[in-house]
A and B are shown apart, each in its own frame.
Chain A
Amino acid sequence: MMGTYFAGVDIGSTMTKVVILGEEPIASFIGPTGPEHRKLAHKVMEEALGSARLAFDDLDYVVATGYGRINVPFADKQVTEITCHAKGVHSLLPSAKTIIDIGGQDSKGIKIGNGKVLSFVMNDKCAAGTGRFLEVIADALGVPLSDLGTVGLAATAPAVISNTCTVFAEAEVISQLAGGESVPNLIAGVHMAIASRVYAMTAKLKIEADVVVTGGGAKNIGLVKALEDRLRMPVLVPAEPLLTGALGAALIGRGLYADAVISGEPVRRRAKRLGEATFFS
């Protein structure tokens, strides 16, 4: 028996995502991680199990990934989001060679070859080019985060945002707004600024097509378009760009489980319970 159900849980800085896998993905759920972090992760898992009509014990193997993966009491193993994104994206879009993930607290570039990570970069100690940047700007402009993308598309002449520091870029946006610059132009300018930062970072990997964009940023059509302009090539966006990490985690779990079964070794599993995750040890 190769095992039947596997789960991947991706605990990001703002959202927790769970994918449950049988032969195919059978359920997924996205819920807030919560400001206190990780506290709500198990709730998201419960939701996902609920929609899959499964009990926690039905899961043969659980892999946790993401910012809050450490000390997840209901995971057998932790794997970084880098490896998981690569695995997940490869399974959905095998042609992918470069992944650009724009998350809440950080953004990363990953170069992959048949599902394995060849090299990767993460943004340095600065929120420029992350979703956080978008949140701050959305707040400042009083535009819902989810609308930034479409609003930005209405731009006639994108504003030039020169500051990369999130806080000062916000100041810059506010003063340009006060100076009469239009909201769409400002948003488009911010998208260009982020695209430029993300590009500069990802270029270290020698970008190759196909390029896949994941993470919250991928849901922002304006940002995706700005990225395509900067990359001078079209990019692919998975149907569920937030779930690729969790999907990859589940796939890795299934793989480990299968390997162990084939090699006849006992599957290395932890006695786990569906409880609150704590922070790093």
Chain B
Amino acid sequence: MALAVGIDVGSGFSKAVVCEGSAILSSAILPSGGSYRDTATRVADEALDKAGVARAAVSLWAATGYGAAMVPFADLTATDISCHASGVHCLFPSVRTVIDVGAQFSKAMRLDGQGKVTNFVLNEKCAGGSGKFLQLIARMLHINVEEIGALSLKSGNPVAFTTGCAVFAESEAVSRIAEGALPEDIVAGVHKAMASKIVNLVVRVGLAEDCAVTGGGANDAGLVKTIGEEIGVKVLVPPEPQITAAYGAAQLVQAKGVP
């Protein structure tokens, strides 16, 4: 059966997934770094190596994400919104609402039964609901973004942030720390602040069950838990949320075939 590769060139990281039908043979993630063009090729090759597959064996290429246009050899390019939808739909056909927490933007999407996007809302010109918020806070706390989730779950009383601005929340966090707030309460507070912004996107697009969270933010158990509490429904998370769009791209290109 033919192989398809989906590449998601995001503003933060680039991801590649090698698929055979709906099965994932391998995947790779690299920081997007200087040139999207080179990164796209490198991340694809890394994924192909893992799967022990030669470039020649790939019959379909799909690209998505901020740098999708930088993948000249793609048979199909689509926005990460459609690709997240398609990816989530293949993993969880029952999902009608997808929340993607990306590096710069967060999105809420509504899906139909075929996994097509019927409506979507992106966060406003404010990074308060985006992964950037987590990066800034992690940097300030001298921890890795990956550690934030577990840390947050330990929190007893989350700090209530009074600003939505990620940049200023950072300095507010600095003050709270100095006032004796615990790191876990800071990150839990950040999660609450982010979740409320993200949930507003969901309210605007209109919540329909089931609901899934994808994107880098979905790796953050604390954030996912908080979002779930805020919208009051159980949220599903793909096993590797960061590669959802790349996977979705590979699914789309297979569904459509080469135009």
Task: Name A's B-contacting residues (CB within 8 A).
Answer: 13, 35-39, 105, 125-127, 132, 136, 142, 163, 165-168, 170-171, 174-175, 177-178, 180, 278-280
Pair B66/A175 contact, Cβ less than 8 Å: yes
- Residues of A within 8 Å of B208, CB to CB, are none
| A168 close to B66 (CB less than 8 A) | no
Asked whether A171 lies within 8 Å of B174 as measured between CB atoms, the reply is no
Q: Is the CB of B11 within 8 A of A175?
A: yes
Is A36 within 8 A of B178, CB to CB?
yes
Check B171 for interface membership: any CB of A closer than 8 A. Answer: yes
Q: Is the CB of A167 within 8 A of B166?
A: yes
Whole-angstrom CA separation of A127 from B132 in the bound complex: 15
Instruction: Say whether A165 contacts B126, CB under 8 Å.
Output: yes
CB distance A105 to B171 under 8 Å? yes
By a beta-carbon cutoff of 8 Å, the part of chain B in contact with chain A is 9, 11, 32-36, 66-67, 70, 104, 125-127, 130, 132, 140-142, 163, 165-168, 171, 174-175, 177-179
- The CA of A37 and the CA of B181, in the complex, are separated in Å by 13
A279 and B178 within 8 A (CB): yes
CB < 8 Å A-B pair total: 69
Chain A residues with Cβ below 8 Å from B130 are: 167
CA distance A280 to B174 in the complex (A): 12
Our pick among A38, A126, A170, A174 for the contact of B178 (Cβ within 8 Å) is A38
- Tell me whether B104 and A171 are in contact (CB under 8 A): yes
Distance, CA A37 to CA B167, complexed state (A):
16
CB distance from A140 to the nearest CB of B (A): 9
A228 to chain B, nearest CB (A): 27
Q: Name the one of B126, B132, B167, B179 contacting A279, with C-beta atoms under 8 angstroms.
A: B179
Interfacial chain A residues near B141, Cβ < 8 Å: 35
**Closest Cβ neighbor of A13 among chain B residues:** B171
Q: Which residues of B contact A136 (CB under 8 A)?
A: 167
User: In the complex, which residues of chain B have a beta carbon less than 8 angstroms from the beta carbon of A38?
Assistant: 178
**Contact present for B168 and A127 (CB under 8 Å):** yes
On whether the beta carbons of B168 and A125 are closer than 8 Å, the reply is yes
Asked whether, in the complex, the Cβ of A37 is within 8 Å of the Cβ of B175, the reply is yes
Name B128's closest neighbour in chain A (CB-CB). Answer: A167
Which residue of chain B has the shortest Cβ distance to A177 in the bound complex? B34
Q: A204 CA to B175 CA in the complex, in Å?
A: 30
Going nearest first, the 7 A-B pairs with the smallest beta carbon separation are A279-B178, A167-B127, A178-B36, A127-B167, A37-B178, A171-B104, A178-B67
What is the CB-to-nearest-CB distance from A226 to chain B, in angstroms, rounded to a whole number?
21
| CA A35 to CA B174, docked complex, whole Å | 7
Taking a contact as CB atoms under 8 Å apart, the answer to whether A132 and B70 are in contact is no
A35:B140 contact, CB within 8 angstroms: yes
- Least distance between B185 CB and chain A CB atoms (Å): 15
B197 to chain A, nearest CB (A): 13
Judge whether B32 and A178 touch: CB under 8 Å: yes
Contact pick for A174, options B32, B140, B163, B179, CB 8 Å? B32
Cα-based distance from A171 to B11 in the complex (angstroms): 7
Cβ–Cβ contact A125 & B175, under 8 A: no
Q: List 13 A-B contacts (CB under 8 A).
A: A13-B174, A35-B177, A37-B174, A126-B165, A142-B33, A165-B127, A167-B104, A167-B167, A168-B104, A174-B66, A178-B67, A180-B35, A278-B178
Chain B residues, CB < 8 A from A105: 171
Partner of A165, one of B9, B125, B178: B125
With A and B bound together, what is the CA distance between A270 and B141 in angstroms?
Answer: 33
Measured in the bound complex, the distance between the Cα atoms of B70 and A5 in whole Å is 63
Given contacts A171-B11, A175-B66, contact A132 B35 (CB under 8 A): no
Q: Are A178 and B70 in contact (CB under 8 A)?
A: yes
